[in-house]
Amino acid sequence: MESENKYKIKPILINTKYYHEFYQKLLITGYKIKIWNKKTDSKIFKYYLPVVREYMFWTFNIKDSKEFEKMDVETRAAICNNYKCTAFEKDGTLIICFSTGIGFVIGDEVEKDIIESNYLQDIEEINIDKSKIFKISAEEEEIYSYILVLYKFVFLSKLDKIMENKEMFNRNRKLFVDFVQDIYTKRITDNAVENKKIDEWEEKLGIEKLYISVENKFDLFYKNTRLDSHDSMFRITIILLIVLIIIGTINLGNWIA
């Protein structure tokens, strides 16, 4: 077994309205898009199942990294917008950004203007302490499975909070369904030992309880929405009946007269 590295991971919330601008800021300040290579990163390529590689490591598919890096900042940022997850690196620091507005900073040093950027939201809005740092000892290929576990935790924490907003119910429902279909129900690796570790990480973070909480809120709001819709239709039907009765009464009076 190879020696493990110690990692410090800070969760961040990116305002999805300014994703493109945040990507540009990272690139302008010297961060580079992490381009994975099937040869030099073979352990990572083999560790993750295809569905996860497609979700998290799309740059494995870049054939000419030099040509890609020659593209201007705006173009590269725009390309990143088309994918579920993109990693940026600079001087030993890694920033992993998911399209849902959740990100993670891995490393000891990161520029203050990145962490305090106007493109970020206060993570305490979803009941996570802004000073929260997750620490773990893991091999290089394992760290990204831990990031995915943290992603599930932060995403469900976010959804558990915003699911209370009835006006955003349809949007939040789509986010929840996409999350479940894209990553929540998917296995990360086919390694039995690693899957046991992942299960332990998820249990420690209480991910299943969070999922059940979100699912219950989803079901409750869905039922209430249907009831509200049913009540509205019932009221409309009653009003139409009253109008028809009034018209019928008037017509009857005219006929008698």
Nearest to 88 by CA among 103, 70, 109: 103
3-state class (DSSP) for residue 97: strand
Higher-confidence residue: 214 or 34?
A: 34
User: What is the rounded average pLDDT of the residues 48-57?
Assistant: 95
Within the chain, strands assigned E span 5-14, 32-33, 85-90, 93-98, 102-106, 120-121, 134-138
> Residue 9 — left, alpha, or beta (φ > 0 → left; ψ -120 to 50 → alpha)?
beta
Between helices 19-28 and 73-80, what is the axis angle to 10°? 130
| pLDDT of amino acid 234 | 43
Q: Express as a percent the part of the chain with pLDDT over 70.
A: 84
Q: Given this model, what pLDDT does residue 236 score? A: 46
What does the mean pLDDT of the chain come to? 84
| DSSP state at residue 34 | -
Q: Are 60 and 34 in contact (CB under 8 A)?
A: no
Q: What is the pLDDT of residues 58-80, one digit of tens each?
A: 999 998 999 999 999 999 999 99
List the chain domain ranges: 5-221
How confident is the model over 123-162, as pLDDT tens digits? 888 888 888 899 999 888 899 999 999 999 999 998 888 8
Helix axes 169-179, 140-162, angle to 10 degrees: 160
pLDDT band for 92, please (50, 70, 90 cuts): confident
* Calpha distance 220→117 (Å, rounded): 36
Res. 251 pLDDT band, cuts 50 70 90: low
User: Is the pLDDT assigned to residue 17 strictly greater than 80?
Assistant: yes
* pLDDT given at position 245: 53
Phi, psi torsion values for 102, nearest 5 degrees: -105, 135
pLDDT at 68: 92
Q: Is the pLDDT of residue 96 over 90?
A: yes
Report pLDDT for 227: 42
pLDDT tens digits, 184-243: 999 999 999 999 999 999 999 999 999 998 888 888 776 766 544 444 454 545 445 554
